[in-house]
Structure 1
Amino acid sequence: MKKLRSVLSLILVASMVLALLSSCTAGADNDEDSPIKIAVAFPMTGDQAEYGQSFLLAAQIKVDEWNAKGGVLGRAIELVSYDDKNSSEEAATIAQKIVSTPDIVGVLGHFSSGVSMVAAPIYEENQVIEISNTASHPDYSSIGDYIFRNNAVISNEFEVIESLLTEDLKLSKVGIVAIKTDWGTTAGAIAADMIRNNDALTLVGHEEVVEGSDDYSLVIAKLKEAGAEAVISVGMYALIAPLARQYKAVDPDIQILGLSNSYAQQLIELGGEATEGIIFPVSFYSDPQNPEIKRFVDAYVESFGSEPSALAAQAYDSIGILLEAIKANGNLDRPSLRDTLNNITYPGITGETKFDAIGDATKNYTKLIVKDGNFVPYEN
């Protein structure tokens, strides 16, 4: 982690210098000697800093790859980093700064759906492309024509989980444990509707909890008494790891299912043997047989010390998609760049990505299961 902090500190310092310089160079986008700048806006401090820092690192890896080949349109590429602290108020302020900086051509961010949806109207009004690699709220991408999502729509992930329950696992009594946040409440409600609308499934309980709690015993007792055969964890690894550990201590046979945002090596590190058998859909996993994935994973591990999450991989691909659009467009005109981005088909490490009419990326999913302390395809 010391090495990671050193790497990120250098990136952040460079980004802050670039941000200061850009405020004095409103016409830099027309200067062929100046770098093409992309904003990266995530929590770099606070409880969610680990995610923001990992996304910045993934984005920087992609930028370094392009710069090693000459950049784009004959110009170097620079990331300008902003710390929104996963705060809606801070994100709104940062969005105003970004749209007031003419030489920033697009934004990778923000982290949570709620924060992204506060900033998005500001970008839309000012014709600045925003790509979020994490926002999953159904309404996010419909905010405007300049708003794109390189992440799963949460309802699509639940469709995969629904098929797992009914077709693969043949389980019917399902409980939900969701984190008590705007995103968790919304996603939990979508999961509950999915279960209620399927005659083969029965919702036996729907509980909200504080992520990172040391004690989920009351929630577990309720679901166990209700006869839950499977539990959907609506949260990241900080929820699913302790939930699995505590639940399997009283019911070793419980089937736990997660979402793609819980795919991270830290899940296994925190949950240990209790994570065995957890299943979730992902658009990315560290497949050593894929040379493109291996190159990214190796570069990421060298700096971060652990393997990238699916969300970090989506940050890497999001920058790649934007750079491909800039290259194909041939210039930085914002309306034409938006149109080009709408028509790009990008073969990235998270699969082939193309944005639909409202800016959602179509994704194919792999079902992963934890087996013998490793993530492996469920079909195997």
Structure 2
Amino acid sequence: MKKMKKVLSLAMISAMTISLLAGCGKKEGSKETGSSADTIKIAVAAPMTGDNAEYGQGFLNAANMMAEEWNAKGGVLGKQIDIVPYDDKNSSEEAATIAQKIVSSKDIIGVIGHFASGVCMTAAPVYNENNIIEISPSASHKDYSGIGDYIFRNNTVISTEAKASLDIAVNDFGKKNIGIISIKTDWGTGTAQVIKDLATELEGDGVKIVAHEEVVEGSDDYSPAITKLNEAGADVVICAGMYNLVAPVAKQYKRVNPDIKIVGFSNAYSQQLIELGGEDVEGVGFPVIFFSGSEDPTIQAYVEKYKGKFGNEPSALTSQAYDSVGMLLTAIQEAGTTDSAKVREALTGVQYPGVAGDTKFDENGDVQKEFVKVTIENGKFVQMK
């Protein structure tokens, strides 16, 4: 029986309109997709170029590595897996075009991607209308998985992660005067609001949001926002943005206040953060679902293999992309077919022991996972004590 989905929000109606204008039509029933004579195709749609290229390249690396592992064992259904990359440049407009290309090709069983929630939510109605499975390793907007039955996320909803970030600020760092700096995107604005809502629940303990500043992603100068946060008395700043926000904010803020504490999100957990921030990102904390420094032998083996192939450690989101491909292939194997409806049904029942935690989709296509608190010490990521 098909799982019940949440009612679409007004934001989803807008996204649906984009997809309909792109010319997609509802398929009658399901059919065999993503399968040719000797291959099964899976798309990876993400930013392969531009400011967020590290995330897309990580998704692609992880997908290729998982496909190679399955292909070495004979593939799935006796066919080899072929990963097909698409560069959406982290642009909603580009993603709408790519989604239409993917559904028009009629030979792709599923999509791993996209990266940003807003981009995912533009493309998802196109996939859902055409019965193409989409698993995003990174979308966290609460409404994303409610777009339809074929839409899944291998990432927690943003409210869960925001609560973990707030916990680091208040309980691990012992701070109560919270500043927020967020990127001016749907995700950044929405995440900042979630933090504010959660903070109101802690007002009885003296916790308060003293200031919130929105900034343009990729800016080189955050000093106006930093000045306002500092004048408001912030003793900890939660950064709702990727490493390319956290690193320069840490550098510039510590010139003003060397004692400031900074908290990020799992999308900032990247070697690039250390390379860009240097000694100024020492002590930055964030919650992650996957920690490359884990002593678990399975995770250690995965990290070493990834480093050997690509020269750097996998991030949390990269690892969720790796697991997402594994879950989709497991569902195809269990369904015994590439029939889209049967694969989707099998996917809802998969319980997957992934490197980013044991994973199972709930009735909404969401997952629940445990967070690990990570910080940076002596230029390395370590688990917070």
Normalising by structure 2, we get a TM-score of 0.87
Q: Output the CA distance in 2 between the equivalents of 1:373 and 1:27.
A: 49
Partner residue, 2:357: 351
CA distance in 1, matches of 2:69, 2:302: 10
1:29: Cα distance to partner? Answer: 5.5
Partner of 2:145: 141
Q: Which residue of 2 aligns with 1:66?
A: 70
- Matched with 1:271 is 277
Q: Structure 2: how far apart are the matches of 1:213 and 1:334?
A: 42
- Checking the alignment, whether the CA contact within 8 Å between 1:54 and 1:304 is kept in structure 2 is no
Answering whether residue 176 of structure 2 is matched by residue 172 of structure 1, we say yes
Give the distance between the partners of 2:382 and 2:106, measured in 1 at CA.
45
Q: What secondary structure is seen at the aligned counterpart in 1 of 2:105?
A: coil
1:287 corresponds to 2:293 = yes
Deviation at 1:268, TM superposition (A): 1.1
Aligned to 1:163: 167
Residue in structure 2 matched with residue 342 of structure 1 by the alignment:
348
For residue 360 of structure 1, the aligned residue among 356, 362, 366 is 366
Aligned equivalents of 1:172 and 1:178: distance in 2?
A: 19
Q: Please say if 1:108 is aligned against 2:104.
A: no
Query: Which is further off, 333-342 or 234-243?
Result: 333-342
- Amino acid aligned to 1:292: T
Letter in 1 for 2:74: G
C-alpha root-mean-square deviation of aligned residues, in Å? 1.8
Q: Which residue is equivalent to 1:259?
A: 265
Q: What letter is aligned with 1:225? A: E
Between the aligned partners of 1:49 and 1:172, the Cα distance in structure 2 is 35
**Cα pair 2:168 2:286 within 8 Å, conserved:** no
Q: Distance in 2 between matches of 1:248 and 1:28?
A: 53
Corresponding residue for residue 300 of structure 1 = 306
Residues 98 and 104 in structure 1, CA contact (< 8 A), matched pair in contact too: yes
Which one-letter code corresponds to 2:274 in the other structure? I
DSSP-derived class of the 2:74 partner: coil
Structure 1 unmatched runs, 5+ = 1-25
Q: Which residue of 2 aligns with 1:130?
A: 134
CA distance in 2, matches of 1:234, 1:34: 44
1:331 to partner: Cα distance: 1.4
**Cα distance in 1 between the residues matched to 2:274 and 2:180:** 21
* Aligned residue pair count: 353
Aligned counterparts of 1:266 and 1:332: Cα–Cα separation in 2: 38
CA distance in 1, matches of 2:249, 2:200: 23
Query: Is the contact between residue 335 and residue 342 of structure 2 (CA under 8 Å) also seen in structure 1?
Result: yes
Question: What's the counterpart of residue 316 of structure 1?
Answer: 322
Residue 298 of structure 1, CA deviation:
2.7
Secondary structure of the residue that 1:295 maps to in structure 2? helix
Give the aligned partner of residue 14 of structure 1: none
Residue number among 239, 243, 248 corresponding to 1:242 in the alignment: 248
Task: Flag the 1:95–1:337 CA change in 2: closer, same or farther, 3 A.
Answer: same
Q: Secondary structure at 1:40's aligned position in 2? A: strand
Partner of residue 3, structure 2: none
TM-score by length of 1: 0.88
Given that 1:28 and 1:34 are in contact with CA atoms closer than 8 Å, whether structure 2 keeps it comes out as: no
| Regions of 4+ moved over 4 Å | 26-31
Tell me which residue corresponds to 1:221: 227
Whether contact under 8 Å (2:115, 2:138) holds in the other structure is yes
Structure 2 stretches lacking a partner, 5+ long? 1-30
Distance 1:70 1:59 in 2: 17
The residue aligned with 2:96 is 92
Distance in 1 (CA, whole Å) between partners of 2:100 and 2:317 is 25
Matched-pair contact (CA < 8 Å) for 2:51–2:218:
no
2: CA distance between counterparts of 1:208 and 1:117? 22
2:85 is the alignment partner of 1:81: yes
Q: Give the C-alpha shift of residue 28 in structure 1.
A: 7.6
Contact 1:61 1:296 in 2 (8 A): no
Paired residue secondary structure (1:74): coil
Contact 1:192 1:206 in 2 (8 A): no
- Could you tell which deviates more after superposition, 302-311 or 234-243? 302-311
Give the Å deviation of 1:30.
Answer: 6.3
Q: 2:53 aligns with which of 30, 49, 52?
A: 49
The Cα of 1:303 is off from its aligned counterpart by 4.0
Q: Does the 8 Å contact 2:35/2:109 carry over to 1?
A: no
Aligned partners of 1:360 and 1:225: how far apart in 2?
40
Query: What is the CA–CA distance in structure 1 between the aligned matches of 2:298 and 2:343, rounded to whole Å?
Result: 26
Distance 1:77 1:377 in 2: 36
Partner AA of 1:297 in structure 2: V
CA distance in 1, matches of 2:189, 2:322: 28
Q: CA deviation at 1:170?
A: 2.7
Q: Deviations over 1:246-280 (max 9, x none)?
A: 11222122111000000011111111111111110
Q: Distance in 2 between matches of 1:295 and 1:41?
A: 27
What SS does the corresponding residue of 1:369 show, helix, strand or coil? strand
